[in-house]
Structure 1
């Protein structure tokens, strides 16, 4: 799908080949990052920028992701954009713990577009409750792994029955 199909309020879900992306996908499904589109800009929470808006073209050139478009047909894009703007400049939530004033990508989306279920977070698979990647990640942060804490993930948001899958973005 061409970028011209994008509408304000479209949700963009993506994945790449980084170790963090692989760890997220291993414990969720399909996507490791998400953002919301308004006026040529991707609003998202990233490790590099915190909560920011970035030209979509710049993001796509910088990050080599496969990008998939989802739409919430009942969105009031103007209200959601106001909410999205409110959190610009907030820090990235590296720990993924809830209620600390910081945001990871799907937490930001769920905050500004409150249509998603909050679920217990997972950091492992059927064999291990916590994968080796996440054990090391949280050791370096110096905090316990938040297994079972309330949260969201990009794959879970994309599976919402409230969203309509539009297609893969070509760029």
Structure 2
């Protein structure tokens, strides 16, 4: 019995090591994240839906530099380059693992990545776009990717669609959004072209190659 128990233990340890083997992220990979809960992220998740009905609230771009992986992202304090570990810490957890999914551009589009990374670098330290205005020089997370990921002809790889701030369940605009836009003294941009992490995760331009949970 002791021998059997030892074998089972060794197999379990071996499987755990295999399951926890780091995934080799590549520069340009999109990291879709279900963020830790807050009033703001709850408002986002109530109006968006990603692959497998995951309510993604954030998306960033993997960037490998000198053997270390970072995330280029637009967060409430601006467009920044964050350590990958911080990105994982900020994610909601499932059984201790970050709820993060990796999307990779399909081969025909991967030549566009160097220019996209170069564009994002020029936007570092820009302010976050709290009002989702496509015409200003501030950027929310998926907007940063939309303006940076371009085809060789200069057209965006990802598509905009009319934004909605109506709850998926009730069809009503959440009081959280009403209060949010009231704070910024602007109208709710219902129907204005925009992007969101959920729609982007379902784009035909990428394939999902990994999830961390």
TM-score (norm 1): 0.91
Q: Distance in 2 between matches of 1:145 and 1:2?
A: 44
Maintained 8 Å contact 1:2/1:169: no
Asked which structure has the greater CA Rg, the reply is: 2
Q: Which residue of 1 aligns with 2:59?
A: 34
Q: Which residue of 1 aligns with 2:9?
A: none
Q: Which residue of 1 aligns with 2:102?
A: 69
Deviations 1:37-73 (A, max 9, x none): 011110000003x111111113323x13311100002
Q: Is residue 78 from structure 1 mapped to residue 103 from structure 2 by the alignment?
A: no
Q: Which residue of 2 aligns with 1:102?
A: 138
Maintained 8 Å contact 1:106/1:153: yes
Long gaps (5+) in structure 1? none
Aligned pair partner of 1:157 in 177, 200, 211: 200
Q: Which residue of 1 aligns with 2:75?
A: 46
- How far has the Cα of 1:3 moved from its partner? 3.8
- How far has the Cα of 1:88 moved from its partner? 0.8
- How far has the Cα of 1:116 moved from its partner? 0.9
Q: Which residue of 2 aligns with 1:90?
A: 126
Q: Distance in 2 between matches of 1:75 and 1:121?
A: 28
Maintained 8 Å contact 2:33/2:91: no
- SS of residue in 2 equivalent to 1:5: coil
Q: Which residue of 2 aligns with 1:7?
A: 26
Q: Which residue of 1 aligns with 2:183?
A: 140
Q: Distance in 2 between matches of 1:2 and 1:90?
A: 35
TM-score (norm 2): 0.74
- SS of residue in 2 equivalent to 1:147: coil
CA RMSD, Structure 1 to Structure 2 (Å): 1.6
Alpha-carbon spacing, 1:2–1:155, altered in 2? closer, same or farther (3 Å): farther
